[in-house]
């Protein structure tokens, strides 16, 4: 079976939005001494990322959110996050 065609930019935007609360907030110096703030580093366990990908593939991701305190994907409390359903 061929995997579904997914827009890479939309997929990246969706994952960034889904895991936004777990983004690592840090500043580093690059090799020239300039300040760099990584925007693509997240403190999320690999099995949780895999679970989010499964929910993305089956279309149920809009019914869930990432809870940074428990480090788990949990059911969405009432309303959907705006824009997630448009990312795929």
pLDDT digits (tens, 9 = 90+) for 24-77: 889 999 999 999 988 889 999 999 999 999 998 898 999 999 999 999 999 997
What is the pLDDT at residue 2? 66
Using 50, 70 and 90 to split pLDDT, how confident is the model at 11?
Answer: confident
Distance of CA 64 to the CA centre of its chain: 11
For 12, the 3-state DSSP assignment is helix
48 vs 87, higher pLDDT = 48
Categorise residue 71: left if φ over 0, alpha if ψ from -120 to 50, beta otherwise.
left
Phi/psi at 66 (5° precision): -90, 130
Domain ranges of the chain: 8-86
């Amino acid at each position: 079976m061929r995997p579904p065609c997914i827009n890479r930019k939309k997929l990246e935007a969706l994952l960034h939005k889904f895991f936004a609360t777990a983004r690592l907030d840090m500043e580093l110096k690059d090799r020239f001494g300039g300040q760099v703030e990584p925007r693509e580093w997240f403190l999320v366990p690999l099995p949780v990322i895999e679970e989010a990908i499964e929910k993305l593939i089956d279309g149920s991701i809009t019914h869930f959110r990432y809870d940074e305190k428990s480090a788990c994907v949990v059911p969405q409390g009432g309303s959907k996050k705006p824009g997630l359903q448009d990312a795929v």
